[in-house]
Chain A
């Protein structure tokens, strides 16, 4: 057999490392791209922290009142965050009240009951729901849910802007999120476990609720926590439908401003830098950041523990 005779095959190969400049440059660039995410986090903490600090340093503000006062009225120098937190909690609670039972129901139906055909039909619908921008949900809350509530409970009971409408629609928004995460968790339960229960003569419901659900419980918990974090940070629905103006009320049919709603309203106006309003959105944002961060870390922790059990 002939060999190619072009000197291409070195007879005395030199194995020494040669500097590969382009490789080094590319690797550094890629590292920078990866490292940028750290900068983002530092940026968030630094910027929010810096301005929040300015906020707390102004003589009108004191931390104790910030955390305990039920009045947020900047024009008379009252900066109590409770009305905002309270409204956030109310909309969030309402959303979870809708999304958890419905989400579990849909997920169990999809993973344990539905035929492949039904599943193939329903999953895209869930994806569509998940892909709709939140402002559209906000519109839905204001132009559909609010009139619906008002026609059910009476126009004098339900205000045009109210936390109930925002909360309910937020529940619909979070539904696909909780459903898909729960369904993943249910699907991750080994098939052998189901087979074992069926082998003992368990009914489908017993397998689903007493075997599969408990086995997937940490995944479901993670789903709920992620949903919770999403609800707390959700902005446009409450900005459109929950009402403007901090209002400490437990009546879901009254308007009240959430933390996110407040940030949007304040910054929507022409905000001048270094005003106390400008600084206050950073303080609220910082609080929001830590709440959601804690929830996210918690859910990741739970998922990690869950993995250790099954893999």
Chain B
């Protein structure tokens, strides 16, 4: 057993290096595939947001000029007059009954004319890629197949798109209601989840001793963060929509909005999302609080400060940038959530602005979902435009996070 080993090795460095290179390429390729996926995703959305559209009008808007004043320049009274002559008196009276014309803005009447009289209809739509690559072909097709149609290069996302309400006509539909719904809902979510989440984090980091109850709370929060969002939807349905219907419908506060006879309201939606993001806010806030140096707390206690004085004056201000960043990440998640809101019962079609927590609701993701699931192609383009609005909203929110963080951390 004491023989000296023969030090002889296979000279295999070349092949080892070769396989090293191969695998390096494989790893790089994975990365590139990931980037390609993102590119495809963004391209796909942009592709469907812009492009040529051939549309026909039932009544040419130019023919609606009144004494030579074009539609755009007419006053509200003139617009009403045009509308009255162009639709049946029954339909006009119904509009008056829905919302008196005196209460409608000029813009609303103007929209009504396009909605009821002009009735633009997209007869063919091309995505951006086609529009850029073969415009001649498209023009030819339109000339042949839709001789009466106008061809225009449209952006489905536009100021009008943000301003208009839902419509069954894709050309006239907009995201106003959904956007407002999202903002209302998220406001409720923030109001409920931020104080609760930060409070829980303070409790767990600064107050909780190491006993079974607090350990249970900690583990439980970690587990809740992994529960699928749709489960929160079911929970929200059972608790906020059904059990607490009196509260969430506003009936308890004497709020008798005939359009919301049940608990499927903004309040329910906001609270459901609050439950959903609470664990995320807590976990992020805990991390931010933990990052505050112990020496600060010692300095404060050493002066005879109480726990809350220490937390309020030293721990929280120093943890705030981290807490805010984490909270905004969580809120971004809430803004994009769809499934739980479908489950608690988002409205499929509302055309009035939400005006209280007890209004019926729809949100941007819900609107995207509904437009995506329509069989007609036109709605896909609307969905793409709405996705851009949603992504822009998320992006600006993240920008706010960065700004806030810089602002607060610049103090010292």
Interface residues in chain A, defined as those with a beta carbon under 8 Å from any beta carbon in chain B: 20, 22-23, 26-27, 29-38, 40-41, 43-44, 47-48, 51, 101-102, 104-106, 108-110, 112-114, 122, 125-126, 128-129, 131-140, 142-144, 172, 175-176, 179, 203-206, 209, 226, 229-230, 232-236, 239-240, 260, 263-264, 267-268, 270-271, 273, 281-282, 285, 288-289, 292-293, 295-297, 300
Q: A23 touching B200 by the CB < 8 A rule?
A: no
Q: Which residue of B lies closest to A289 (CB)?
A: B231
Q: Which residues of B sit under 8 angstroms from A144, Cβ to Cβ?
A: 40-41, 44
| B203 located at the interface, meaning its Cβ lies under 8 Å from any Cβ of chain A in the complex | yes
Q: Which single member of B31, B196, B373, B391 contacts A106 (CB below 8 Å)? A: B31
Pairs across A and B, CB under 8 Å, 16 listed: A30-B203, A31-B203, A40-B278, A44-B235, A47-B234, A105-B31, A129-B37, A133-B335, A136-B336, A136-B387, A140-B45, A143-B48, A233-B228, A236-B339, A293-B227, A296-B223
Chain B: interface residue total (CB-CB under 8 A): 85
Given A41-B220, A109-B28, A26 contacting B308 (CB threshold 8 A): yes
Q: Which residue of B lies closest to A240 (CB)?
A: B372
Q: Which residue of A lies closest to B219 (CB)?
A: A300
Q: A288 touching B230 by the CB < 8 A rule?
A: yes
Q: Which residues of B sit under 8 angstroms from A51, Cβ to Cβ?
A: 238
Interface residues in chain B, defined as those with a beta carbon under 8 Å from any beta carbon in chain A: 16-17, 19-20, 23-24, 26-31, 33-35, 37-38, 40-41, 44-45, 48, 195-197, 199-200, 202-204, 207-208, 214, 216-217, 219-224, 226-231, 233-235, 237-239, 242, 275, 278-279, 282, 306-308, 329, 332, 335-339, 342-345, 365, 368-369, 372-373, 380, 383-384, 387, 390-391, 394, 398
Q: Which residue of B lies closest to A50 (CB)?
A: B238
Q: A175 touching B27 by the CB < 8 A rule?
A: no
Given A30-B207, A106-B27, A136-B391, A44 contacting B231 (CB threshold 8 A): yes
Q: Which 10 A-B pairs have the closest CB atoms?
A: A233-B228, A133-B336, A105-B30, A33-B199, A109-B27, A235-B339, A296-B226, A30-B203, A205-B20, A47-B238
B242 to chain A, nearest CB (A): 6
Other contacts beyond A138-B372, A140-B45, A236-B338: 19, CB < 8 A:
A33-B200, A36-B200, A38-B217, A105-B27, A109-B27, A129-B38, A131-B332, A133-B338, A136-B390, A143-B372, A172-B34, A206-B20, A226-B226, A233-B228, A233-B230, A235-B338, A267-B345, A268-B342, A300-B223
Q: Which residues of A sit under 8 angstroms from B34, Cβ to Cβ?
A: 102, 106, 125-126, 129, 172, 175-176, 179
Q: A-side binding surface: helix, strand, loop or mixed?
A: helix
Q: A285 touching B336 by the CB < 8 A rule?
A: no
Q: Which residue of A lies closest to B368 (CB)?
A: A135
Q: Which residues of A sit under 8 angstroms from B338, Cβ to Cβ?
A: 133-135, 235-236
Q: A105 touching B345 by the CB < 8 A rule?
A: no
Q: B31 touching A134 by the CB < 8 A rule?
A: no
Given A267-B343, A297-B223, A137 contacting B41 (CB threshold 8 A): yes
